[in-house]
Amino acid sequence: MWDEHFLPYFAEQGYEAHALSLRGHGESELRGYVHNVGLADYVQDLSEVVHRLGVTPVLIGHSLGGVIVQKWLKNHEAVGAVLMGSGPPHGMLPSSVGMLLRDPALVMQIALAELFGPVAASVEATRKTLFSDSLPPEVVNRHFARSSAESLRVGFELAWPDFPGPTWNRDMPILVLGAEKDFFVSPTMVWATAQVYGTRAEIIPDLAHAMMLEPGWKLVADRILDWLQEKVTPRCAESTASVART
């Protein structure tokens, strides 16, 4: 999902950008049964990748990835963090109830897809939950074919509150982004997440949940780029100057 636009775009802007596949996703290995995997395992996956890179990173997490970033930051340092349509610290239970009330049949399809992968869902359900109507059908079909089952245990863990602990670094720049037409994470939930971290949410108009794949993806990428140049790059320069003086 990051290879499509974001990785090449940020590379063109001079940033070294990497995307990780969590265990059981993409080409990453999985020992055992996917539904036994928990959020702590995904946090460990992120820790291993950061350790191998050997740098203090800027982390960009989307949806479930945003939850993993929030959990990782409880005990680790980052230069900055971007949460895109991220699951909120207060849990996904309110969102799940709201979705069930709005479209119970669609929620059932989502649940089956989480359990068994794309074979249990329809392309139309994928469009309704992840994409806006402006994305061409052939592109929706291509992304649909690449989806996979998600851990049932992770689904349960996402439902419950998990507010940041006292180790949260309030000085670290954080950008909280949402999509106007997000079926999973409403703008209200995005605003609530931003409030927890002492910042203001920014809602990108006309985009759905998978905002990095939408026709308007560049609006999101450009906002992140502006934020990096305004909030992160100056801090890195100050840190480098301080080390040089020492």
As a whole number, the mean pLDDT across the chain is: 85
Could you tell me if residue 192 is inside a domain? yes
Could you tell me if residue 169 is inside a domain? yes
| Cβ neighbours for 219, distance < 8 A, ≥ 6 positions apart | 204, 207
Could you tell me if residue 118 is inside a domain? yes
For the segment 196-219, what is each residue's pLDDT rounded down to a tens digit? Answer: 999 999 999 999 999 999 999 999
Give me the torsion for CA of 38, 42, 45, 50, rounded to 10°: -150
- pTM for the full model? 0.87
Quickly count: other Cβ atoms within 10 Å of residue 15's Cβ: 13
Helix (H) or strand (E) holding 111: helix 104-116
Could you tell me if residue 185 is inside a domain? yes
Residue 10's CATH number: 3.40.50.1820
Could you tell me if residue 1 is inside a domain? no
Which pLDDT value is given to residue 115? 61
CA 55 to the chain's CA centroid: 20
For the segment 44-54, what is each residue's pLDDT rounded down to a tens digit? Answer: 999 999 999 99
For the segment 148-164, what is each residue's pLDDT rounded down to a tens digit? Answer: 778 889 988 998 877 66
pLDDT band at 11 (very low <50, low <70, confident <90, very high): very high
Could you tell me if residue 37 is inside a domain? yes
DSSP 3-state percent helix, strand, coil across the chain (nearest 5): 50, 10, 40
pLDDT band at 106 (very low <50, low <70, confident <90, very high): low
- How many domains does the chain fold into? 1
Domain that residue 210 falls in? 6-245
